[in-house]
Amino acid sequence: MAALKMSSFLSSSLCSASRSALFLKGRTPFAVRAVANYGTAAAIEEPIKPSVSIEHTKLLINGQFVDSVSGKTFPTFDPRTGEVITHVAEGGKEDVDLAVAVARKAFDEGPWPKMTAYERSLVLLRFADLLEKHTEELAKLETWDNGKPYEQALNVELPICVRLIRYYAGWADKIHGLTAQADGPHHVQTLHEPIGVCGQIIPWNFPLLMFVWKVGPALATGNTIVLKTAEQTPLSANFAAKLLLQAGLPDGVLNVISGFGPTAGAPLASHMDVDKLAFTGSTETGKIVQSLAAQSNLKPVTLELGGKSPFIIAADADVDQAVELAHFALFFNQGQCCCAGSRTFVHESIYDEFVSKATARAIKRTVGDPFKAGIEQGPQIDPEQFDKVLSYIKSGNESGATLETGGNRIGSTGYFVEPTVFSNVTDDMKIAKDEIFGPVQSILKFKDLDEVIRRANATRYGLAAGVFTKNIDTANTLTRALRVGTVWVNCFDVFDAAIPFGGYKMSGIGREKGIYSLHNYLQVKAVVEPLKNPAWL
């Protein structure tokens, strides 16, 4: 299938920290109104009430939605207003222990690993059909719980989820080992076997897409799963898990725990009976996850972590096209993308023109209720992320960068931030070094390729990069010199099911999607047998 490309909502990847939700008890929502120049449809007089029911707010263990052992619940919030949407079960160590025990039994004794690969592929294909059937409901849940534009969730993210599951279903019966020639009279073969019980921890910025990225390859290869959702966005995973059960997934193969990092994520990462761990989130949390895994049973870990991606615009670029692509690369999904093009490097010969046009484009960006048609930007996920973004804007002002536009909150409730553009940014500023994870564009100036390569690589991250040029030599030079896992040339955030995604340096370990994701969930076993009649070799 051709790469999924969208002119206004290109598909994007995702990662972020698992951050503690702030409980906004007693907070009364007020009307959110856009400031002048921001958003042709930005004001939220009355937030749209999504027409979707929330059926499952409990933990999924052994095919049943159950209360947590402690009976505790916690609220999940509408980031448009700060209001509580519903309360969900708060899983803890005891719940993780139960879920892992169930997953272990399902792996050791249950039918899933023992099914034919073709049977597993049929379950995944039925799941994809159900995702497609319930696209509108899932998209509404994503928008309500996360704040992303409904049109983005409906028209971009859900179709990608469906495609990814069908992709993994196609792989299920095509996983096989090899035979090898030995020096002596032996028959040698390798077997690719499922690794066992997989712990998976997903982030809040693309909850459903990350659910699919994790469970698809794990299920296709015959494993069982205990998955922890982000505390900010627990709703869509339970809906999707219910559909998997309807598709014929045996009880206990997938277990879903909602809860917080220290009390649910840490017990999962350190569990002695979890055979493999996959985490998407911040680099800081990734270090903790890896340490916990190492201190327990040395389980293998894949990490998809943070980024500070350079977006390099060469002197020969069409400025208008470059402005639009750089705008998308940064502002998509409220800037809450691990691979966001958050360091916009522009050649000095076109710098002033680019800054002027990038500022004008940001001013025209529509901000408001993400359920309204035509909205490009909704709220940030929660008060913590909202305050973090505003603190980085303050830092940019204090460090001497030029604030071209934006820099403030929009309205008096909810977590809306003006699309913000800084020019005259230098490499030593916090806004150029740290992952802001918000709608803040930093525009830097460069003179030549050697300089921009050195500066682009001078970061602890190495997730992705963008290159915009008409010159094939410039493109080839940059794609080979940049130390990142993905380079998009004259495009950005193009995600096909077969394209691997992951980072260099502190942006992670391993790859998601494509054939590389299957490697994360397989063990390789060598089988050696003597040949009684070596004359026939």
533-536 long-range Cβ contacts below 8 angstroms, 24+ apart: 534/185
Measured CA to CA, the distance from residue 122 to residue 34 in angstroms comes to 48
Q: How far is CA 33 from CA 27, 81, 418, in A?
A: 18, 12, 12
Cα angle value 105/106/112 (rounded, 5°): 150
Q: How far is CA 383 from CA 29, 284, 388, 464, in A?
A: 14, 20, 8, 28
Q: How far is CA 279 from CA 164, 183, 364, in A?
A: 18, 41, 36
Longest dimension (CA), the chain: 87
Measured CA to CA, the distance from residue 136 to residue 162 in angstroms comes to 13
| Element holding 209 (H helix, E strand) | helix 207-220
Measured CA to CA, the distance from residue 508 to residue 287 in angstroms comes to 10
Q: How does DSSP classify residue 29?
A: P
Measured CA to CA, the distance from residue 233 to residue 18 in angstroms comes to 10
Q: How far is CA 29 from the centre of its chain?
A: 29
| Element holding 413 (H helix, E strand) | none
Residue 344: strand, helix, or coil: strand
* Options 231, 304, 404, 512, the catalytic residue: 304
Please indicate whether residue 193 is annotated as part of the active site. no
Measured CA to CA, the distance from residue 411 to residue 414 in angstroms comes to 8
Q: Do the Cβ atoms of 336 and 438 come closer than 8 Å?
A: yes
Enumerate the active-site residues.
304
